[in-house]
Amino acid sequence: MSHNIIVGQSGGPTSVINASLAGVFKTAKELGAGKIYGMRNGIEGLLNEQYIDMTEYLKTDMDVEILKRTPSSFLGSCRFKLPSAQKSPETYSKIIEILRKLNIEHFFYIGGNDSMDTIKQLSAYAKENNITDITFMGVPKTIDNDLAVTDHTPGYGSAAKYIAATLKEIIRDAVVQPIKIVTIVEIMGRNAGWLTAAAALAKGEDCEGVDLIYLPERVFDTDKFIDKLNEIMKTKQQIVVAVSEGVKLADGRYVCELSDSSKAVDSFGHKQLSGTASTLASLVASKIDCKTRPIEFSTIQRCANHISSLTDINEAFIIGGVAVKAAFDGQTGKVGVFNRVSSKPYIMGTSIYDVDAIANVEKKVPDEWIINDGTYVSQEAIDYMKPLIQGEMLPYMVDGLPRHIKL
């Protein structure tokens, strides 16, 4: 038995997706893996036979440790939807042929709900074609935290920590002058509001917090928004609003489409969302006599590993190992998931779950966690998020800056 494995990273990067890669690498080595290959740019690269032997890059424990603390996807990523096996059987036979050439026994894919589609398709193809010598396992990741079944996803805690910490700084800045100003901060998360909800974490004994939080789970009404700002301004001059990039109007259009004519969509059909904060800031400036400042966190929130959550890094590493152990035990078509035992104290278990229940499913923020007529989130939401941002693991600092490992 070769015990060779291959691992790929897919979808948007995070601060801790490399910690999962490190978890896969280290656990596979400990379990006696032969070669450990990494796909360059996920399944898209693999189809072009682009891969590396990871042991050539990760020679020492220190290399693995730096990988753990390096944001984004070390192996490169892709947003590539596999065509169905009915439509393109040659794609699947080509993948199997490449895997066989490398004597791969275990295939791991680290990604979000779209990426888990790759595991779903490949494991189903293997089953249908009686391919029993290769297992296919998913490792969860996404800052969006919108994966079904798992309590949360690696990457979310660190992005949430960045968002809450940066909002505290934005609020300190916003209140410095006694003028009327509306600061609108746009947060990623596509159609799920988990990340935007993290804005609530900014509030504490040393910070007044954001005034309004708008999630994509609720229809956004521009008139109500202006009314709300006018109402708050009766008692407060500086207002800070957190808004999801994915908020939509009653007619189904994204708010950002009011001023953005971009038609860019990825291979999963997702529209590129951007410009919600500036659209709303222009609206506010046209309706209210005040200064406005739109801030789009954009990609900065994904890889801000100078303020990663230690909990997130550790869990990302662990879940990579969970997937490897399960695969070496013969499991296939599964994803590593987290099961919360309790929040106070924080106790988190792990297990594996059927990929069919996870691929392509978007988990939304529970309706009852959205309060104040859709303008804030509940204490329950805060209690859920709080443990995920705990602890710090600083990058290795060299010459005043974080040291990263790259291909």
Of the candidate residues 144, 151, 211, 312, the single one contacting ligand F6P (CB under 6 A): 144
Of the candidate residues 7, 167, 198, 273, the single one contacting ligand F6P (CB under 6 A): 273
Q: Name the one residue in this structure whose structure tokens are 């979000």.
A: 112
Other beta carbons within 10 angstroms of residue 149's beta carbon come to 17
Other beta carbons within 10 angstroms of residue 87's beta carbon come to 9
Cβ atoms 114, 79 nearer than 8 A:
yes
Q: Does 42 bind ligand F6P (CB under 6 A)?
A: no
The size of the interface with ligand F6P (CB under 6 A), counted in residues, is: 14
Comparing C-alpha atoms, which of 119, 117, 100 is closest to residue 108?
Answer: 119
CB of 113 to ligand F6P, least distance (A): 9
Candidates 140-148, 223-231, 327-335, 358-366; binding stretch for ligand F6P (CB under 6 A):
140-148
Residue 335 has phi, psi (to 5 degrees) of: -130, 140
CB of 182 to ligand F6P, least distance (A): 24
State how far the Cα of 333 lies from the Cα of 132, in Å rounded to an integer.
12
Q: Does 339 bind ligand F6P (CB under 6 A)?
A: no
Q: Which residues in the 277-336 window bind ligand F6P by CB under 6 A? A: 302
Q: Does 154 bind ligand F6P (CB under 6 A)?
A: no
- Report residue 346 as tokens: 């924080």
Of the candidate residues 262, 272, 339, 372, the single one contacting ligand F6P (CB under 6 A): 272
Cβ atoms 75, 52 nearer than 8 A:
yes
Q: Based on CB atoms, which residue is closest to ligand F6P, 246 or 321? A: 246
Candidates 25-33, 45-53, 188-196, 373-381; binding stretch for ligand F6P (CB under 6 A):
188-196
Strand, helix or coil at 402?
Answer: strand
**Known active-site residue 144:** yes
Of the candidate residues 11, 111, 333, 395, the single one contacting ligand F6P (CB under 6 A): 11
Counting runs of H as helices and runs of E as strands, what totals does the chain give? 11, 15
Residue 348 has phi, psi (to 5 degrees) of: -125, 125
State how far the Cα of 292 lies from the Cα of 286, in Å rounded to an integer.
10
State how far the Cα of 15 lies from the Cα of 223, in Å rounded to an integer.
37
CB of 154 to ligand F6P, least distance (A): 13
CB of 245 to ligand F6P, least distance (A): 6
Q: Name the one residue in this structure whose structure tokens are 């029993």.
A: 132
CB of 99 to ligand F6P, least distance (A): 26
Of the candidate residues 45, 71, 189, 209, the single one contacting ligand F6P (CB under 6 A): 189
**Contact residues for ligand F6P (CB under 6 A)?**
11-12, 79, 112, 142-144, 188-190, 245, 272-273, 302
| Residues annotated as catalytic (active site), given as ranges | 144
